[in-house]
Amino acid sequence: MNPTTGEPAPGRILCLGEALVDLICERHVDDVARAGSFVPHFGGAVSNVAVVAARYGAPTALAGGAGKDAWGRWLLDRLGREGVDVSLFTLIPGARTPLAVVAVDHHGEPSYVIYGDALATVVPALANRIEQAVRASAALFISSNTLVRAEERAVTMRARELALELRRPVLFDPNLRLHRWRSPADAADAASACVPGALLVRANVGEATLLSGEEEPERAAAALLEAGARLVVITLGQDGAILRGEAGADVPGVPADVVSTMGAGDVLTGILIARLALAEFGADAVATALPEAVAESARACERWGALE
């Protein structure tokens, strides 16, 4: 039951993606080599979104994994304590959980050095039970992070196809990390394939431009709607966000004393998909939730880790 409304809890949001450990230098430095110490924080874009959505009352399940090591167990424990369904989260024997060593510059922009194995976690977590997992879920949340490798892309796109066939809402945040791709064009092609039929596409200005070819946010949003999205949210950094499609809104930015921008977009996305789920995926829920999501995204910039 929803403790606020007394209504039955919505079905879960199935989230496909990785979890990792962010080791953050909690002082501003321009280079990771200048950092003196690091503090572990929960990380991974999709896992951040799953945790935020769970905090806001939406049942979520994370299909992914980590290494079967001390850090992997640390992540699994944290997910469980946050109320995320970990029945599809796998600890992989012999693999090392990825660690992101993070330096944040004086503008709050992070840079990363990744250690550990680049894990294709969705494959062992979901490959043999895609249909069962999608059928047991009310919606599917995906990002481009499981599109880079061919095997993970096949699993992700099959899950998307099944969700659309079963009339489950598909929620897509490109979260493009271009250093993972052979070229920006490859990244754009893979991400663009997830737009048709999506109930919600959430992108920052750079991602929206890459997917649409349009630099102006209004035109980019229009192009993504033309490509088949039903709702498009484009975040504008300190200037807020716009919503276009079956519902519309213009939300100004909220001032923040920026410490780090890490995970601010994950917080915004997690709130939006939670509010959607709690409103049975009615489009107006995004317009209603967007001011809160923008405000909490700004608050996330005032701390080192997105979730702390």
Instruction: Give the pair of three-digit tokens for residue 218.
Output: 């209004």
Residue 308 lies in a domain: no
Question: Tens digits of per-residue pLDDT, 33-52?
Answer: 888 899 999 999 999 999 99
Q: How confident is residue 130, by pLDDT bands cut at 50, 70 and 90?
A: very high
Find the domain containing 155 and state its range. Answer: 13-300
- pLDDT of 8 over the 90 cut: no
Residue 264 lies in a domain: yes
Residue 137 lies in a domain: yes
Residue 4 lies in a domain: no
If you average pLDDT over residues 131-136, what whole number do you get? 95
Whole-number pLDDT of residue 2: 40
Whole-number pLDDT of residue 1: 37
Question: Tens digits of per-residue pLDDT, 173-220?
Answer: 999 988 889 999 999 999 999 999 999 999 999 999 999 999 999 999
Question: Tens digits of per-residue pLDDT, 77-87?
Answer: 999 999 999 99
Burial class of residue 74 (count of CB atoms within 10 Å of its CB; 0-12, 13-18, 19+)? middle
Give CA–CA dist 69/164, Å, rounded. 36
- pLDDT of 3 over the 60 cut: no
Q: How confident is residue 116, by pLDDT bands cut at 50, 70 and 90?
A: confident
Residue 306 lies in a domain: no
Instruction: Give the pair of three-digit tokens for residue 246.
Output: 């079956």
Name every residue whose Cβ is closer than 8 Å to that of residue 99 and which is 6 or more positions away in sequence: 20, 21, 23, 71, 114, 115, 116
Residue 227 lies in a domain: yes
Q: How confident is residue 145, by pLDDT bands cut at 50, 70 and 90?
A: very high
Instruction: Compute the half-sphere exposure of residue 171: CA atoms within 13 Å on the CB side of its CA.
Output: 30
Domain of residue 84, CATH code: 3.40.1190.20
- pLDDT of 172 over the 90 cut: yes
Q: What percent of the chain clears pLDDT 90, i.e. is strictly above it?
A: 85
Would you give the end-to-end CA distance of the chain in angstroms?
26
- pLDDT of 7 over the 80 cut: no
- Domain total in the chain: 1
Residue 148 lies in a domain: yes
Coil, helix or strand for 57? coil
Whole-number pLDDT of residue 10: 64
The average confidence (pLDDT) of the chain is: 93
Whole-number pLDDT of residue 6: 38
Residue 267: name the closest of 290, 297, 240, 299 by CA: 297
Helices and strands: H and E segment counts in the chain = 10, 13
Residue 7 lies in a domain: no
Whole-number pLDDT of residue 11: 83
